[in-house]
Amino acid sequence: MVASPAVLADLHSHTNRSDGSHDPSALVEIAAARGVGILAVTDHDTMAGVAEAIAAGNAAGVRVIPGIELSIKVPHGSMHLLGYFNDPAPAPLSGLIAGFGETRTERAREMVDRLNGMGVAVDWDDVLAGAAGAPLGRPHIAEALVRAGHVVGRQEAFDRYLGDGRPAYVGSDGLGVEEGIQLVIDSGGAAVLAHPETLKLDDAHLDPFVGRLKQAGLAGIEVHRPEHTADQFARFRALARKYTLIASGGSDYHRPSSPHHPGSTGNPALPIDTVDRLLATALR
Ligand code: AMP
Ligand code: FE
Ligand code: FE
Ligand code: ZN
């Protein structure tokens, strides 16, 4: 059978090298079966899944884009910054990834200590075992809470304990805003603001904040996401236009129980040339 033409682009996805459930090759196969021709693998603070995904992409006819989703320190809400690269191990970023993992371990430990302090007993070794070497994130703690019987499912774990501002939540102690964008640029990549809604800023505050990111070298903003309402789509697209940012997006797929699948990038779908336009902004 002739490989079907690239019909969908999805610039946001996760593997079990961070908090997704699929091996990189399985993720690529699922994406291929759904008609995705361009897939960025954007694990949290690691690029450990990229090489395997590229190899699987070569076999399955999927162009895999090396990516990362960096945790950024902000005073309220949470900020994730996507980076897209030509190089599967872009320096200097690649040299800093081990340190990001250590920062995540310390933060996860603090959240587990808080839970234990609240009388919600969570075994640290069980959290570590569940993550299987991936940089630790809240989803790994949520799963340990489920296994310990404190909650019925991961969503309850977020709603009661781990969501932004909930009692066991500890914010990211990672890169600063400008520092993260500059690191992506210095590593030859294009930086994109992920899911702007999680910043929890109203329009009057989001607009100048996006202006600040643009000043720092931001190339794009996520506009095409399956959970965006028509109103969110319009707001974020207006910001993209105002600040001459590329309207990017993706499914943010993590696991089969996710509400959306690889290639679901909202309505309208993500334009197929988006990553080329993003990478054209990278300086080398
Ligand atoms: P972390 O990087 O450790 O802060 O964890 C972020 C990840 O946790 C996100 O990528 C989501 O997978 C998940 N997450 C964050 N907030 C929630 C929430 N309120 N409900 C469900 N999952 C969430
Ligand atoms: Fe995640
Ligand atoms: Fe994110
Ligand atoms: Zn994500």
pLDDT, tens digit, for every residue of 241-281?
Answer: 999 999 999 999 999 999 999 999 999 999 999 999 999 99
Minimum CA distance residue for ligand 1 atom 16: 163
Residue 4 has what pLDDT? 47
Residue 172 has what pLDDT? 86
Residue 2 has what pLDDT? 52
Q: What is the dihedral of CA 148, 23, 228, 212, to 10 degrees?
A: 100
Average pLDDT, the chain: 95
Cα(1) to ligand 1 centroid in Å equals 40
Residue 174 banded pLDDT, cuts 50, 70, 90:
confident
Tens digits of per-residue pLDDT, 26-61? Answer: 999 999 999 999 999 999 999 999 999 999 999 999
Q: Candidates 110, 158, 160, 199: which one to mutate for ligand 1, based on the most atoms within 8 Å of Cβ?
A: 158
Residue type, 70: L
The mean per-residue pLDDT over the stretch 116-138 comes to: 97
Cα(14) to ligand 2 centroid in Å equals 7
Minimum CA distance residue for ligand 1 atom 2: 137
CA distance 215 to 181: 10
Cβ-contact 193, 218 below 8 angstroms: yes
254 Cβ inside 6 Å of ligand 1: yes
71 Cβ inside 6 Å of ligand 1: yes
